A and B are shown apart, each in its own frame.
Chain A
Amino acid sequence: MPQDLIAEFFAGLAEQGQIPTFAGQSATLRFDIGDGEVEHWHVSVDKGTVAVSRQHKSADAVVRMNRPESEAMVTGRLNAQTALLRGTLAVDGSMAALMMFQRCLPGPPGSTGRVAPISSATVMSWRRP
């Protein structure tokens, strides 16, 4: 059985319950994932506490995307903002809800936050003709 990355992601959210970056905030989102057979994930954030269900309920924001892109997004390989600008992600309803939600998505794999120092001599060598 192949890994279901999307189910794992939402299960992880539900498990955390309180998500610090959502502190004090409330919103609901529904993700309609897939082209033919659409699966629904309903995320409800109530003052920072997250609950996830598979119900097709109304929400502040309804987000539609295909499965491969959804998998890329929940594993940090696709950035939500660029997906929105590119039209790979469509949202109906509250942009603010989507903006809040994207904060819980992981960063791109391979980003370390670190970089080797550069000496003054090296910087000067860039600038010499």
Chain B
Amino acid sequence: MNTELVQILEGNTFVVSDSGGDIEASPTDPTGLFSFDTRYLSHWVLTVNGQRLSPLSTDDLHYYQARFFLVPGSGTVYVDSQLSVIRLREVANGFHEELRVLNHQNEPVRLEIRIDAASDFADLFEVKDALAKKGEYSAEPAPSCLVLRYRRETYTRETSISATAPAVFDEKGLAFQVTVPPHGEWKTELHVVASMGIAEGLRRGAARSRAQYRVHRDMARGLEKWLQRAPRLECDWEPLAAIYHRCLTDLAALRFSTLTMPNRALPAAGLPWFMTIFGRDSILTSLQALPFNSELAATTLLALAERQGTRIDDFREEDPGRILHELRYGELTAFEERPHSPYYGSADATPLWVVLLDEYERWTGDVKLVRHLEHAACAALDWIDKYANLQGNGYIAYQRRNPQTGLENQCWKDSWDSIAYRNGDLPGFPRATCELQGYAYDAKVRGARLARNVWHDLALADRLEREAADLKRRFNRDFWIEDGQYYAVALDADGRRVDSLTSNIGHLLWSGIVDKAKARAVARHLLGPRLFSGWGVRTMAEGDARYNPIGYHVGAVWPFDNSFIAWGLRRYGFREEAASIAAGILQAADIFAGRLPEAFGGYPRSVTRYPVEYPTACSPQAWSTGAPLLLLRVMLGLDPHHEHLIVDPAMPKWIGHLALLDLPGRWKRIDAYGRGRVDTDRATSR
């Protein structure tokens, strides 16, 4: 069997197949046609005269399109190459497959071409767990199509399969009896449509998607336009152009439209298993991409506001004003076996939403959107004080209210062991992690700016500024670890400092909550031997009990984390330190052919020479894709100031000349230039 998997996608619909285009899913083999978090095809196997085909080659033409060149037989020796078969597959609402059979002989051939099709209608969450389904299956062959259906009470999902050439449909698939003339060709188009089979609005949405098949050629043009619209990059260090191009293309593939805003796109979290809205991931990616594309930010702000919490719901961990964590559409969500309808268990998405709103306005000057979202912003700011103050000390803290399926750690480091004391013990709940306080501070400062300049609510602006100043004062007293000269990663339920040294302190610089007098010590730790690997800042410092260079949140290096840390270092004037982090991460990006993984090992650079990729099923990851974009901003020192864009470069020497041309913003279009002057070799040679 072909072990190499091919995946193509569009929005939240994706197809994972083997390199011949066939799908034979098993519980441990996550292949299939997926849409709205449901598998609509788990079996899709092509045979010619009862024979399987083997691939000669596979082209990933675009993220939504693949082409498979096949010959009948096992493929070890091409004795039977009198026929070739070409499958061209494109994703839309389901997929569309053009099947061509070429006869290379001087004689006509009679063939039975058959496709076996079946679906288990598994929820994405079930795919790896092989849970028993509670509903009933049916397969309904008709003269012109085959409908596969799954029904559980009123929940219905359907896959309909049809073809343009005459075919005979049965419960297990479809077959064509054809004669291919000498040196001739036979062709059909197959349509596989995934339908939620419920609401009229959704059905119409599906119909719209079917119509899109016809204009599918536009997707290629759409991608081209997307690339053309982005600022142009010129650089002496050649790999940077390739990294930039990779990021833009991956970001295009990660675009996702919600049912309520089908014509707008926001960044989904990752491909293919996380093609949905995640509050935190969509916001942070939008922030990273803001200088290059502001539409992603606008859509993220609107889509999250639309689903902002309005009531107390312990199962979904919803509160008034809270911004969601994750939205899903599958069967487990529908029957409340999972809480993602949506799930709100995130303590950072709410303040970060306010941060994005302000940053969006600073770049675009789009006060109309900011006015439109005033109520949502005030509700988000209220959430911080009214619903997140779980320890009663004025800090944002989290503790799950859904003990079965809720998240234990509701910060970005969401694995169970990420928040620990130096000695490896785990704190109780509620936990107030430090970066949450930074985000809250920044949200208040930025909320005050918007209140003053856009909403013209001076009383609110004054109050938020007072609260921010008070929060900063208390935070620098309560979280600071005097003997280590850094901030605790969290306060535990008793107000005790959770004293491991982590990358979270870099986010504090980004937020601005760090006292100027303490900033130097924080920067020294970030670039010091315990945290900095030579490629980037580790999530947890070497020397802490739980440190593990390949521990997800306890030692691995996360590119997205580093991009925000670099931004924070620039904010406090640590130009060389920021350039050193950009250097390490961009060199790693070059080694990964432009596509940074979610995380890589925290081994010292001198030990492994190459960054060791953390095994993960999801690539590209949105905020890893955004990391080089944010690093470009940081290196060039781009910052909006009223109607102007400040450019203040501090870049690694070996970057040489760097230009970003036609940067969009409230200034319309502007060019930014820089030249590398910082010697980063010493820092990155660790």
A90 and B375 in contact (CB under 8 A), knowing A100-B306, A107-B312?
no
Establish whether residues B428 and A122, one from each chain, have CB atoms under 8 Å apart when the complex forms.
yes
B344 to chain A, nearest CB (A): 11
> In the docked arrangement, what's the CA distance between A114 and B261, Å?
34
A82 and B341 in contact (CB under 8 A), knowing A96-B261, A107-B311?
yes
Q: In this complex, what residue of A is CB-closest to B152?
A: A86
Q: In this complex, what residue of A is CB-closest to B319?
A: A113
Establish whether residues A85 and B428, one from each chain, have CB atoms under 8 Å apart when the complex forms.
no
> What per-residue 1/0 map shows which CB atoms of A82-96 lie under 8 Å from chain B?
101111111111111
A111 and B312 in contact (CB under 8 A), knowing A82-B334, A95-B259?
yes
A87 and B314 in contact (CB under 8 A), knowing A99-B260, A120-B428?
no
Establish whether residues A107 and B313, one from each chain, have CB atoms under 8 Å apart when the complex forms.
yes
> In the docked arrangement, what's the CA distance between A35 and B220, Å?
47
A106 and B426 in contact (CB under 8 A), knowing A91-B199, A113-B387?
no
Establish whether residues B426 and A120, one from each chain, have CB atoms under 8 Å apart when the complex forms.
yes
Specify which chain B residues have a CB less than 8 angstroms from the CB of A86 in the assembled complex: 153-155, 198, 334-335
Q: Which residues from 95 to 113 on chain A have a C-beta closer than 8 Å to any C-beta of chain B?
A: 95-96, 98-100, 103-108, 110-113
Provide a sorted-by-A list of 21 A–B residue pairs whose CB atoms are within 8 angstroms: A21-B310, A79-B341, A85-B155, A85-B334, A86-B154, A87-B154, A87-B197, A90-B198, A91-B200, A92-B199, A95-B201, A95-B202, A99-B307, A100-B306, A103-B310, A106-B311, A115-B401, A120-B428, A120-B492, A123-B426, A127-B417
Establish whether residues B200 and A92, one from each chain, have CB atoms under 8 Å apart when the complex forms.
yes
> In the docked arrangement, what's the CA distance between A114 and B306, Å?
25
Q: In this complex, what residue of B is CB-closest to A76?
A: B311
A79 to chain B, nearest CB (A): 6
Specify which chain B residues have a CB less than 8 angstroms from the CB of A24 in the assembled complex: 372, 374-375
The size of the chain B interface, using a CB distance under 8 A, is: 51
Specify which chain A residues have a CB less than 8 angstroms from the CB of B412 in the assembled complex: none
* B273 CB-CB contact with A under 8 Å: no
* B673 CB-CB contact with A under 8 Å: no
Q: Which 5 pairs from chain A and chain B are nearest by CB?
A: A107-B311, A85-B334, A23-B375, A92-B200, A87-B154
* A1 CB-CB contact with B under 8 Å: no
Q: In this complex, what residue of A is CB-closest to B307?
A: A99
A82 and B335 in contact (CB under 8 A), knowing A99-B307, A120-B492?
yes
> In the docked arrangement, what's the CA distance between A99 and B318, Å?
15
Q: Which residues from 287 to 341 on chain B have a C-beta closer than 8 Å to any C-beta of chain A?
A: 306-308, 310-316, 318-319, 329, 333-336, 341
Q: In this complex, what residue of B is CB-closest to A104?
A: B310
User: Contacting B306 at CB < 8 Å: which of A96, A108, A115?
Assistant: A96
Q: Which residues from 394 to 431 on chain B have a C-beta closer than 8 Å to any C-beta of chain A?
A: 399-401, 416-417, 425-430
Specify which chain A residues have a CB less than 8 angstroms from the CB of B342 in the assembled complex: 81
The size of the chain A interface, using a CB distance under 8 A, is: 46
Specify which chain A residues have a CB less than 8 angstroms from the CB of B335 in the assembled complex: 82, 86
> In the docked arrangement, what's the CA distance between A36 and B477, Å?
67
Specify which chain B residues have a CB less than 8 angstroms from the CB of A84 in the assembled complex: 198-199
Specify which chain A residues have a CB less than 8 angstroms from the CB of B308 in the assembled complex: 103
> In the docked arrangement, what's the CA distance between A123 and B421, Å?
13
Q: In this complex, what residue of B is CB-closest to A66?
A: B154
> In the docked arrangement, what's the CA distance between A94 and B342, Å?
19
A88 and B306 in contact (CB under 8 A), knowing A82-B336, A115-B399, A123-B426?
no
Establish whether residues B155 and A113, one from each chain, have CB atoms under 8 Å apart when the complex forms.
no
A85 and B341 in contact (CB under 8 A), knowing A107-B311, A111-B313?
yes
Specify which chain A residues have a CB less than 8 angstroms from the CB of B200 in the assembled complex: 90-93
> In the docked arrangement, what's the CA distance between A124 and B399, Å?
16
> In the docked arrangement, what's the CA distance between A107 and B202, Å?
25
Specify which chain B residues have a CB less than 8 angstroms from the CB of A21 in the assembled complex: 310, 375, 379
User: Contacting A112 at CB < 8 Å: which of B198, B199, B312?
Assistant: B312
Q: In this complex, what residue of B is CB-closest to A93?
A: B201
> In the docked arrangement, what's the CA distance between A113 and B313, Å?
7
> In the docked arrangement, what's the CA distance between A76 and B316, Å?
13
Establish whether residues A118 and B429, one from each chain, have CB atoms under 8 Å apart when the complex forms.
yes
User: 6 other contacts beyond A85-B334, A91-B201, A106-B311, with CB at 8 A cut-off?
Assistant: A81-B341, A81-B342, A111-B312, A111-B314, A113-B401, A127-B417
> In the docked arrangement, what's the CA distance between A30 and B153, Å?
25
Establish whether residues B492 and A23, one from each chain, have CB atoms under 8 Å apart when the complex forms.
no
Specify which chain A residues have a CB less than 8 angstroms from the CB of B333 in the assembled complex: 82, 85
A123 and B429 in contact (CB under 8 A), knowing A82-B336, A112-B312?
yes
> In the docked arrangement, what's the CA distance between A110 and B401, Å?
12
Establish whether residues A112 and B429, one from each chain, have CB atoms under 8 Å apart when the complex forms.
no
Q: In this complex, what residue of A is CB-closest to B498?
A: A120
> What per-residue 1/0 map shows which CB atoms of B258-300 lie under 8 Å from chain A?
0111000000000000000000000000000000000000000
> In the docked arrangement, what's the CA distance between A113 and B375, Å?
22
* B493 CB-CB contact with A under 8 Å: yes
A102 to chain B, nearest CB (A): 9
Establish whether residues A96 and B156, one from each chain, have CB atoms under 8 Å apart when the complex forms.
no
* A3 CB-CB contact with B under 8 Å: no
